[in-house]
């Protein structure tokens, strides 16, 4: 158990640092793009590509250490959107289209609402 926690911790640290670096490199372009959050979009795209590549590899070569270090840790630290995308894809691939659409809708509406409520509660 301790080994698993350390793997997630290590991967998450690298993922979070990577996210920070991407944000620092690209946030200067946000104003020239009319406020479009290019740094967040780029991190989400990179994270989704990474989790797709890793999950694809792990489907042929199962390895719990790589799963914990790179999927749960690194990709989770880099962007949780990659995990969300992976879960939606699994639902679609498993024939659970209704559940996938429901998950997408609830995640977007409820999470945005929760963020709004959180900001309102701090005023």
pLDDT > 80? residue 9: yes
At 115 the pLDDT is 85
pLDDT > 90? residue 101: yes
- For the stretch 40-94, pLDDT in tens is 889 989 998 999 999 999 999 999 999 999 999 999 999 888 888 989 999 999 9
At 80 the pLDDT is 80
pTM of the model: 0.79
User: What is the average per-residue pLDDT within 2-11?
Assistant: 98
pLDDT > 90? residue 38: no
At 70 the pLDDT is 97
Label residue 52 exposed, middle or buried (CB < 10 Å: 0-12, 13-18, 19+): middle
Mean pLDDT of all residues in the chain?
92
User: What is the average per-residue pLDDT within 28-36?
Assistant: 81
Q: Dihedral of CA 118/77/29/110: which sign?
A: negative
Instruction: Compute the radius of gyration of the chain from its Cα atoms.
Output: 16
At 41 the pLDDT is 86
Cα 91 to the chain's mean position, in Å?
A: 17
């Amino acid at each position: 158990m301790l080994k698993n926690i350390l793997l997630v911790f290590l991967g998450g640290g690298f993922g979070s640092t990577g996210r920070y670096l991407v944000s620092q490199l690209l946030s200067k372009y946000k104003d020239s793009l009319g406020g479009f959050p290019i740094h967040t979009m780029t991190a989400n795209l990179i994270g989704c590509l990474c989790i797709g590549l890793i999950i694809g590899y792990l489907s042929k070569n199962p390895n719990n250490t790589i799963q914990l270090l790179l999927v749960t840790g690194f990709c989770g630290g880099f962007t949780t959107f990659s995990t969300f995308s992976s879960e939606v894809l699994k639902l679609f691939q498993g024939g659970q289209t209704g559940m996938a659409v429901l998950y997408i809708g609830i995640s977007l509406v409820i999470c945005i609402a929760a963020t709004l409520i959180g900001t309102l509660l701090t005023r």
